[in-house]
Chain A
C-alpha cells in the first residue's frame, strides 16, 4: 500500500464547476500536510498547507480528517488555469526528509 494515495483521475470538469480531490495517508504519525500544484513538465508549487481546523484560500479549501487519515481539496468556480496535477503531501516526524508525495490527481477544466 502506498503511503499517500490519490485518485489519478483525470477529472474533466467545465469552467465554473466545483471539484473535490481526496487523498489518504497510511502513517498515523504524519504531522504536516500540504497540497502542491504541478503544471505539465514544471516543478511542484506549494498551493496550501492543510490544518486540522481546515483552511481556505480564495476558491480553495483544504480539510484534514485525522481519524480517517484523509485530506481533501475543494476547488470552487473552476478556471481554465486550474488545469494541472494536484499532489497530496504528508510529512512524518521531525525533518523534511520524511515528506511523502502522492502521485497526483490530474484536473482538466474545459470551457
Chain B
C-alpha cells in the first residue's frame, strides 16, 4: 500500500538535545512538507522540498533543519535552538501538478522537558 510513514509516534527528549524525526513516502511524490500543529492552531509550515537535494524554509523554520537526499525521505531535525519544540509534527507529500493535494503521515508527538 502506498503511503507516508513517520517514526516514532511519540518522542520524549530533554531540553538541549537535538532530535531527528523520520518521514518516508512511497507515493512517488516530488514534494514533501513538514508542519507543526499546536493546540487550537492551524498547521504551520516548517520546511518544504519540491525536489531531491533542494529544500526551502517555511514560515517557522528557526530551530529546525532538514535534508532531502532521496525522493522518498525527508527527515526533520529539531535542534536545541528551537525554543518551544513540544508539538505534534506532521509530514506531508504532494504531486507537483494540478491542485497539489497533500497527504499526511500519522505524525510524531514530541515532548521536550
Contacts and interface: CB of A to CB of B under 8 A. Distances in A.
B48 A96 contact: yes
A43 B58 contact: no
A104 B38 CA distance: 12
A96 B31 contact: yes
Contact of B90 (A8, A43, A49, A99): A43
A21 interface: no
Interface residues of A, number: 24
Given A46-B101, A46-B103, A103 B58 contact: no
A91 B50 CA distance: 16
A104 B104 contact: no
Nearest to A6: B42
Q: Is the interface of A mostly helix, strand, loop or mixed?
A: strand
A96 B33 contact: yes
Interface string B1-32: 00000000000000000000000000000010
A50 B75 CA distance: 31
Nearest to B105: A43
Given A32-B99, A91-B99, A96-B94, A42 B106 contact: yes
Interface string A3-15: 0100010000000
Q: A49, A87, A101: which has the most chain B beta carbons within 10 Å?
A: A101
A50 to B, nearest CB: 10
B77 interface: no
Contact of B33 (A97, A100, A104): A97
Contacts of B102: 46, 96, 99
A97 B42 contact: no
Contacts of A4: 42
A8 B40 CA distance: 8
15 contacts: A31-B99, A32-B99, A41-B88, A45-B104, A46-B102, A87-B42, A87-B43, A95-B96, A96-B31, A96-B48, A97-B48, A97-B56, A97-B58, A99-B100, A101-B43
Interface of A: 2, 4, 8, 31-32, 34, 41-46, 49, 87, 91, 95-97, 99-104
